[in-house]
Every structure is written in C-alpha cells, then in structure tokens.
Amino acid sequence: MKFVVAFTCLVAVAVAAPQSDRDRDATIITDDRVDNGDGSFSYAFSASNGLEMEVAGAPGSEGQSNMRGYYLLPLESGGFARVEFVADEAGFQPQSDLLPTPHPLPEHVHELLRIAERQRAEGITFD
C-alpha cells in the first residue's frame, strides 16, 4: 500500500512540475479531495496548462488501497498523453498508447495454437 501511495504522489509531483515558462504561470483550476473516513477516497486535479489527474480509491482485501484513475503527461510535441491505471492486489497496471505492446503473433503461430487446441480436445497428450 505504501508503494502505491508513494508512486501516486511521485506521479502527481512529476505531472505538476513546471515544464516551460507557460507552465510556471499555470493556475490550479480544480483541486477536489474527498476522504470518506472508511478508507475510500477520491481526488481530482486540473491546471490551466492542461495537466489533469483523477483517482478514486477503496480499501483492498489485503489491507492495501485499491485505486483507479488517470493522469495526463505532457508530450514534447505539445499535446498530452492519457495514462489510465488500476492499482490493486495485482500491482500497478497502466494502460496508454504510449506504452509498448508486444508484436502480433505471426499467422503460423496462430495455426499451431489451433492445432494444439484441437489435439487437446481429442485427448492427445505429449510427455
């Protein structure tokens, strides 16, 4: 839980750090925070330079805080990239077009997987 909270704070600081002269003059538009007292919470932050972050959290089954939300990262090209995430028992799980993805499997691998599935259905096993 401490790791997730520390990581979220680190992301918030990195996102809020001035990136240019324009960012140094940025003003906070939204800073909403809700602590329900039972371990659940939410917060939303936005600034005039386009930075945003929203997170909602609830107690997890193993004592951690489960969180779901998003943040915007400034791009060198001038736009922003959106990173959506879930942080729970399975760890921090970001999703974004920025993140690398594995190459698609070649067609012959799909064919081999179909053959293997058919063999399993027929009861064929290999030692």
Where do the domains of the chain lie? 2-98
Task: Return the number of other C-beta atoms located less than 10 Å from residue 15's C-beta.
Answer: 19
Question: pLDDT tens digits for 16-46?
Answer: 555 556 567 889 999 999 999 998 999 999 9
Q: What is the pLDDT of residues 90-99, one digit of tens each?
A: 899 999 988 8
Closest CA to 50 of 83, 24, 77, 73: 73
55 vs 22 pLDDT, higher one: 55
Contact indicator for 65, 1 with CB cutoff of 8 Å:
yes
Q: What percent of the chain has pLDDT over 70?
A: 82
pTM of the model: 0.61
pLDDT in tens, 75-110: 888 889 999 999 998 899 999 988 888 888 899 999
